Amino acid sequence: MKRYLPLVPLLVAVVFLSSTGFQCGSAELTSAKLYIQQKQFQKAEESLLKEVAKNDKDEEAWFLLGQVRLEVRNYPGMNEAYNRALAISDAHKNDITRNRLATWGALYNEGVSFYNKGRDTSSYFERAVQDFKSAAMLEPDSSSTYFVLALAQRAQNDNDGAQQSLETALAKKPTYVEAARFLGQLRYASAVEKLEAKDTVAARAAFLKSVTAFELAYKSQPDNVDNITNLIDVYDRAGEDEKAESVTRDAVARDKANPLFRYAYGVFLLKKEQFADAVEQFTAALQINPAYGDAKYNLGVSYLNWGVSLKGMSDKRYDSDKKSAAKATLNSKDDAVYKEKFKQALPYLEESAQVRTEDAALWTQLGRLYAILNMPDKSKTAFERADKLIKSK
C-alpha cells in the first residue's frame, strides 16, 4: 500500500481584479467593462472577443479578457490573453505579474488540499493534478510545482507522467535533491518491473537511468545516508560494483564516527559476501550507536551467512576426500569452524527477534540455527512461532 505524506499550503497574495476606468473606447470595450462590473462574465468575454477580432493590437482588451477568464477559472485562456497583452505593451505588466503569482499560489494550495483529501478518497488526486498543471502553466519556472505535480501523478499510478514532471523540475533546478531522489525511485521501480517481466536488457537500461538521478541527489548532498544507500543499491543492480564501493568507502573515510555510513558500507560488503569486512563495519556502527537495530540484525546475518559459506566449502572438501579417516577429521574441524560463526550470529539474531516480533523468516532461521547448535527446545519454540506467524497472514 502506498503512503502519502501530507503537503503544506503556501502563503500567497490576493488576486487583483481591475476593469480599468470608463475612458473613451470602442462600443465593445465599453460594454465589456460594464458587464464586468455586473459580473456578467460570459457577455464580457463575448464583447472583448469581438474587440480583439477587430483590433488585435488593443492591449487593454487583451488584459481585460485575461481578467474575465480568470473569473471563470479558464486559466489557459487567461494566460494566453495576458501573453497577448504583454506582447503589445507593459501597461498592465504589474497587474498581470501579481495576478499570475496570486493565481498560481491559489491553485497550488487548492491542489495541496485535493492531494491531502486524496489520501482518503483517491478521486481527489485527479483534481490535484489538474490544479498543479494549471499552476505550472502560470509559473513555469517553479520547480516545486512540478514536484508536487509528480506526487499527485504518482498517486494516480501515472509513473511516466510523474517522471516527466520530475525531469522538468530538475531542468529548472538541478540541485533539487528531493526531486532527484524521487525520480531515481520511480526509475528504479520501473527497472524492477522490467526485471520481473524477464526483460533484462530493458531493466539494465532503466537501472542506469535510475543511477543518473540518484547521482544528482548524491552530488548535492554527499553526506546524506539515503543518497548513499540508494546509490549502493542501484549501482549493485546496474553492475557498477566499483562505483558502489567507492561511494561507501569514501563516506566512511570522510566520517568514521558516523554509524549510518558504517552501516551502508557494511551492507555493500555483505552483499559481496566479504563477511569479515562486513562484520567489522556493523560492529563499528554498534560501538558508536548500541541501539542501532538494523546494524545489530545485519551483524547477525553476516555471521550467519559466513557460517553457511564455510559449511558449503566444508561439504565440498568432505565429498572430494576419498579417505574415510581423513574425512572424519576434516569434517570435525570444519564443523567447529562454521558452528562458531553460527554461535556468534545467535545473540544478535535473538535480540533482533525481540524487536522484529512479526518476522516469520527470522524466527524460521532461528529455529534452524538452534537445531544445528543442538538446542532442540528452543528450535521447537522458534519453529512454532514462525508457523503461527505464517498462518496468521
DSSP string, 317-349: HHHH---HHHHHHHHHHHHHHHHHHHHHHHHHH
Q: Can you give the pLDDT at residue 220? A: 93
Q: Which DSSP symbol is given to 297?
A: H
Distance CA 236, CA 219 (A): 18
Taking the CA atoms of residue 314, residue 315, residue 319 and residue 322 in that order, the dihedral angle to the nearest 10 degrees is 30
- Angle formed by the axes of helices 59-71 and 75-88, to 10°? 160
Check: CB of residue 232 under 8 Å from CB of residue 268: yes
The reported pTM is: 0.74
Q: CA 259, CA 275: separation in Å to the nearest integer?
A: 18
- Determine, yes or no, domain membership for 373: yes
Q: Are 275 and 262 in contact (CB under 8 A)?
A: no
Is residue 126 one of the residues assigned to a domain?
no
- 3-state SS, 26-69, equals CHHHHHHHHHHHCCCHHHHHHHHHHHHHHCCCCHHHHHHHHHHH
pLDDT at 22: 45
Residue type present at position 46: E
Exposed / middle / buried, residue 309 (Cβ in 10 Å: 0-12, 13-18, 19+): middle
Q: Which three cell numbers stand for residue 36?
A: 464586468
CB-based contacts of 293, cutoff 8 Å, min separation 6:
352, 355
Q: Is residue 334 packed enough to be buried (19+ CB in 10 Å), middle (13-18) or exposed (0-12)?
A: middle
33 found inside a domain: no
Whole-number Å distance between alpha carbons of 31 and 86: 23
Reading the chain (393 residues) residue by residue, the pLDDT tens digits are: 354 556 656 544 444 455 454 455 689 999 999 999 999 999 999 999 999 999 999 999 999 999 999 999 999 999 999 999 999 999 999 999 999 999 999 999 999 999 999 989 999 999 999 999 999 999 999 999 999 999 999 999 999 999 999 999 999 999 999 999 999 999 999 999 999 999 999 999 999 999 999 999 999 998 888 888 888 889 988 888 889 889 889 889 988 999 988 998 998 899 889 999 999 999 999 999 999 999 999 999 999 999 999 988 877 776 665 555 555 555 566 678 889 999 999 999 999 999 999 999 999 999 999 999 999 999 999 999 999 999 887
Structural domain boundaries, residue 372: 303-392
Is 340 part of any domain?
A: yes
In this structure, is residue 132 part of a structural domain? no
In this prediction, residue 18 carries a pLDDT of 53
- Residue 258 CB partners (closer than 8 Å, separation 6+): 251, 252, 288
Cell numbers of 269, please?
560488503
Let me know if residue 355 belongs to a domain.
yes
Angle between helices 259-271 and 275-288 (to 10 degrees): 160
**Count of domains observed in the chain:** 1
Task: Assign residue 332 the CATH number of its domain.
Answer: 1.25.40.10
In a domain, residue 357? The reply is yes
Residue 160 CB coordination number (10 Å)? 11
CA distances from 332 to 248, 305, 306, 325, 356 (A): 38, 20, 18, 11, 34
pLDDT on residue 334? 63
Q: Let me know if residue 96 belongs to a domain.
A: no
User: pLDDT value at position 210?
Assistant: 96
pLDDT of residue 26: 86
